Structure 1
Amino acid sequence: MKKFLTVLYLTFSAGLTPVAAKYVTAEISPLSLAFFRFGLATVLLFIFFKVKGISFKIDRKDILYLVMLGALCIPVNQFFFLVGIKMSTASNSGVMYALTPMIAYLISIYIKNEKYNFKKLITISLTIIGIVIIFWESLLQSLEQQSNLFLGNILLFFAVSSWAIYVTLSKKMIDKYGSLKTSTLAFIAGMILFIPLFIYDLPNFNLDKLTFGGVIGFIHLSVFVAFLGYFIYSYSTKFIKISTLATLTNLSPIVTIVFSYFLLGEKLSVYFITGASITILGVFLTQFYSDKEILND
Structure 2
Amino acid sequence: MKRFIFLAILAEAFIIYASVLVKVVNLSPIIAGFYRILFALPIFMLFANRRLLQAKAKDMLLMLGAGVFFGLDLVFFNLALHKTSIANVNLFASLVCFILVPIGAIFFKEKIHLDFILGSLISLVGVFILIKGRGGESVATPLGDFLAFLSMVCYGIFLSLVYGLRKRYDTLTLMSFASLGSIIVLLSIGIPMEGFSTPQDWHTLGMLIAISLFGQVLGQGCFGYIMGKLDAQVSSLILLFTPMIAGLMGYFLLGEKLGVYEILGMVIIVLGIYIAKIREKKKKK
TM-score range, shorter chain: 0.7 to 0.9
Aligned residue number for residue 33 of structure 2: 34
Give the TM-score taking structure 1 as reference length.
Answer: 0.72
Aligned pairs for 1:1-297 within 5 A: 11-12=9-10, 14-26=12-24, 27-50=26-49, 53-73=50-70, 75-101=71-97, 103-111=99-107, 113-133=109-129, 147-203=139-195, 205=197, 207=199, 212=203, 215-229=205-219, 242=230, 253-268=243-258, 270-286=260-276, 288-289=277-278, 291-292=280-281, 295=284
TM-superposed CA distance for 1:249, in Å, is 9.2
* Identity %, equivalent residues: 21
Measured in 2, the distance between the counterparts of 1:90 and 1:258 equals 12
Specify the SS of the correspondent of 2:82: helix
Unpaired runs of 5+ residues, structure 2, are none
Measured in 1, the distance between the counterparts of 2:227 and 2:110 equals 21
Specify the SS of the correspondent of 1:184: helix
**Residue 153 to residue 293, structure 1, CA distance change in 2 (3 Å):** farther
Matching residue's letter, 2:214: F
Deviations 1:165-184 (A, max 9, x none): 32222232222233322221
Specify the SS of the correspondent of 2:166: helix
How many residues are paired up?
280
Measured in 2, the distance between the counterparts of 1:199 and 1:234 equals 28
- CA-based RMSD: 4.0
TM-superposed CA distance for 1:41, in Å, is 0.9
**Residue 206 to residue 264, structure 1, CA distance change in 2 (3 Å):** farther
**Residue 134 to residue 88, structure 1, CA distance change in 2 (3 Å):** farther
Contact 2:33 2:74 in 1 (8 A): yes
Question: 125-134 vs 227-236, which deviates more?
Answer: 227-236
Give the TM-score taking structure 2 as reference length.
Answer: 0.75
**Residue 271 to residue 204, structure 1, CA distance change in 2 (3 Å):** farther
**Residue 30 to residue 268, structure 1, CA distance change in 2 (3 Å):** farther
Measured in 2, the distance between the counterparts of 1:13 and 1:202 equals 29
Unpaired runs of 5+ residues, structure 1, are none
Question: 110-119 vs 7-16, which deviates more?
Answer: 7-16
Contact 2:166 2:225 in 1 (8 A): no
